[in-house]
Amino acid sequence: MDPLEWPYRLRTARQKKRLVRKDLDKQLIELSRKQGELSKQRRDLPMISLRHPYHKCWKRQFVLHEDIKNLPNADFYQALLDKINTVKYHHDKSFKVKKRRKRQYGQKNICQTLMEISDFEWYKNWYKLSDKEQASFIRTESISINDRYLNVRYVYAEPWHFVLKVMPHIIYEVQLCDQVLEQEIAALDNYVERNNLWYRINRLTNGKSCKGWVYIEKPKYFNKLKNMPRYANKEAYLD
């Protein structure tokens, strides 16, 4: 019987390899979805109150200036502050870190500013700002030399309305821990890390690799002859 008259179609070797690769990619996509589901389950675990709260560190955030508290529209500034406030934590109450300069160690203050709204967040009104609140911001532009793009930010025009205040960070409640869920997450992470699948999963799920990521070959895939010059002697190849 002529092979062209067979009722079914034979696949070539190239098609078989393509099917194997597609099947592996589908498994990686399903693995990524499974990791997302388990992470969501961990985030949705309830919080439980502690019988004995404890002091963990110090936190610093913005509060209203004393002069602003006495104004009739203090509620307006407080509502705006709740949307653009930032919080930083540090083990030291002074919020200073070591800085080395000219072989000597000193200390410098940790910088903290109000939240700057990006152009996309401003267009989508991510923080649900009213028209009066949006009028309190100014547009700033800067050019990134490395990435070569225009960085647009919206900054609060009068930051002196708010001052920084340091206060103790007390832990009153913690999130419930599920040991079975943690074991499943750890098993999936170890499998992906052991087989070096992060690069391929990110390529399949995000469409491209994250900026700054570098794919590093594992030692067992290193080719010893890859970077060896052609004019090397015979003993170098044998070694």
Sheet holding 87-90, edge to edge: 87-90, 47-64, 162-175
Query: For residue range 115-131, what is the model confidence (pLDDT) as tens digits?
Result: 999 999 999 999 999 99
State whether 40 and 104 are in the same domain: no
Would you state the pLDDT for residue 4? 57
Which range of residues forms the domain containing residue 33?
A: 17-45+177-239
- Of 183-192, 195-204, 212-221, the poorest mean pLDDT is in 212-221
| Assigned domain for 189 exists | yes
Q: What average pLDDT does the segment 67-74 reach?
A: 92
- Of 115-124, 201-210, 229-238, the poorest mean pLDDT is in 229-238
State whether 96 and 196 are in the same domain: no
pTM recorded for the entire structure: 0.66
| Assigned domain for 4 exists | no
State whether 118 and 154 are in the same domain: yes
Number of domains in the chain: 2
Whether the pLDDT of residue 51 is over 80: the answer is yes
Whether the pLDDT of residue 172 is over 90: the answer is yes
Task: Yes or no: say if 35 and 185 are a contact pair by the CB < 8 Å rule.
Answer: yes
State whether 61 and 168 are in the same domain: yes
State whether 117 and 54 are in the same domain: yes
State whether 77 and 137 are in the same domain: yes
Cα–Cα distance, 235 to 172 (Å, whole number): 68
Helix residue ranges, H only, the chain: 13-43, 66-69, 74-84, 119-124, 131-134, 179-194, 198-206, 234-238
**Across-strand partners of 153?**
118, 140
State whether 206 and 102 are in the same domain: no
Whether the pLDDT of residue 147 is over 80: the answer is no
State whether 151 and 86 are in the same domain: yes
Cα–Cα distance, 173 to 171 (Å, whole number): 6
Query: For residue range 21-34, what is the model confidence (pLDDT) as tens digits?
Result: 999 999 999 999 99
